[in-house]
Structure 1
Amino acid sequence: MVRGKTEMKRIENTTSRQVTFSKRRSGLLKKAYELSVLCDVEVALIIFSSRGKLYEFSSSSMQSTLERYREHSREDTSSTIMEEDTEQWKHEAACMSKKIEHLEASKQKLLGENLESCSFDELNELEGKIEQSLRSIRGRKYHLLKEQISQLKEKESSLVKENALLREKCKRLPQLPSAASKGVPPFGTLGQHTEVETELRIGFPGRGTH
């Protein structure tokens, strides 16, 4: 009698589900043992029942097999991550290269170069961008000029105030007396009242002249 194909879905009847679990578990453990012996391979099998009970089989040591599996998984994960990162870097580099080429082409067009391939609409758009840039440049220039003029006016006002303070200080200084107030005769009148006697002598003092 040919057995019908079992439908792969959860067995709703609890008793039937438990019987099937016991049979399939025993068969799976037996197959794992046979595979390890016949093919000389390292096999580890772990089963948790619906109630949380553990069933396991290991052809050598469960701990060493699990550690070997973790090492292998880490290597595969690192390799996969590195490959994904490499692909992402290549994609980003290609996108960046295209952006640089586009910016370089736009720069040359703004400088008035390589305009042969531009259509009328592209030239009109380029002209509008240049005019907008010129307006921005002029606006910035006028703003800087206004700031400089404002700074110069503030400096001028400060110098005017400082000059006024210096004038006030000069007015407060005491006046020096004039020569007339000291009773000193003016130059030229001294020669009219004073006679100066001069004498020319030749030789050492005390000796007669020859």
Structure 2
Amino acid sequence: MHTRAPIPSTSRRRWLQAVSALGAVSALSACGFKLRQAPQFAFSTIHLGTAAGSLIGQGLKRQLEGSGQVRVVPIAEAQVLLEVLAERRERTVVGLNANGEVREVTIRSRFRFRVRSHDDQELVPETELLREMDVSYAESQALAKDAEVEMLFKSMASDAVDQIMRRLAMIKRVTPLPGAAAAAAPTSGASQSVAPAAPAASGSGW
């Protein structure tokens, strides 16, 4: 009589983890859960009114053009205009140690914007995205702390980009640019074939 060898504890643990993961996926599918899909946009061109060095502007351009659906273009060519009403990074001292040195700062990122169509329809009303965070500080480690603050500002900008992208994806309909339909449609004579001209009669004396 053969006795089945026991499953090693490590292999058994991995097997149980795989079964649990499969069960979790099945449960999510049963309740209608779907993996996040790439956003779909109702427009194909947009103008970003952000400053040249804006982290938010750079992030938006990268994500919009990376979607393969939208091009960032000059204002005259855009269906949609993102207008920046305010963009500021703030850093405020909120705590000092016994020697009068900075020990805590509050950093804030403010981005206020609105979105309208080329024919001046409001697509996203005036909105302010505000993020703030308290950060410990030590003047003896000023360079390292300044680098940490800069990294946190970049994280805040990335979060703002995600929020703006979600609002842009919620736009349902945008009026086409004037002349866009005419440029896309063939002219009435373009679909008609033209018969080749008959060869001219020879004037030679053959």
**TM-score in same-fold range (> 0.5):** no
Instruction: Report TM bin, short chain.
Output: under 0.3
Q: Which structure has more strand as a fraction of its residues?
A: 2
| TM-score, length of structure 1 as denominator length | 0.18
Bigger RCO (CA 8 Å, 6+ sep): 2
TM-score by length of 2: 0.19
User: Structure 1 or 2: larger helix share?
Assistant: 1
Larger Rg: 1
